[in-house]
Amino acid sequence: MSIEGWQKVISINLNSLFYEMKYQIPAMVKNGGVSIVNISFILGSVGFAGSAGYAAAKHGVIGLTQTAGLEYSAQKIRINAVGPGFIETPLLGVLNAEMKKQLVALHPIGRLGKSDEVTQLILWLSSDKSSFATGSYYPVNGGCLAR
């Protein structure tokens, strides 16, 4: 991986999250609390050959989420992260059938995830129903990380 590639991947996937929280949390504190849900990925907790920068950034998302969750919980700001597996999206439409089959094989459930399955978790974490959840990472990955 080139230095430029590394810097771009880290900037897009980790630095942007830091800046978002750095500048939004003070306003959230003034408004009496809120829930933040960061998006990581299954590569936030495992490695993946050929994806050093992306895996490092997504690991960083989890670490930043846990740390911020600890630091802001007393101010009624709950911060959690969701880690989807591979989700059936138009982005995966560029893959040929064999590559898609390989991605499906990573998930013991036997299929890719659906956007709505991730959305439901995000909605729960954003609601008062999850009022005791902060500083946590929630994988939603069809069993991929259970291996």
Whether residue 70 contacts residue 98, with contact meaning beta carbons closer than 8 Å, is answered with no
Q: Which residues are the active-site residues? A: 54
As beta bridge partners, residue 75 has none
Residue range 89-103: average pLDDT?
A: 91
- pLDDT by residue (tens digit) across 105-141? 999 999 999 999 999 999 999 999 999 999 999 999 9
- pLDDT by residue (tens digit) across 30-88? 988 899 999 999 888 888 888 899 999 999 999 999 999 999 999 999 999 999 999 99
What was the pLDDT predicted at 51? 84
Residue 112 lies in a domain: yes
pTM of the complete model: 0.91
Q: How does DSSP classify residue 135?
A: S
Which structural domain, as residue segments, surrounds residue 55?
3-141
Residue range 19-24: average pLDDT?
A: 96
Residue 147 lies in a domain: no
CA distances from 102 to 17, 45, 73, 90 (A): 30, 20, 40, 17
Residue 87 lies in a domain: yes
What was the pLDDT predicted at 126? 97
Residue 146 lies in a domain: no
Residue 15 lies in a domain: yes
Residue 126 lies in a domain: yes
Domain count for the chain? 1
What was the pLDDT predicted at 45? 87
Residue 125 lies in a domain: yes
Residue 82 lies in a domain: yes
Which CATH number do you get for residue 132? 3.40.50.720
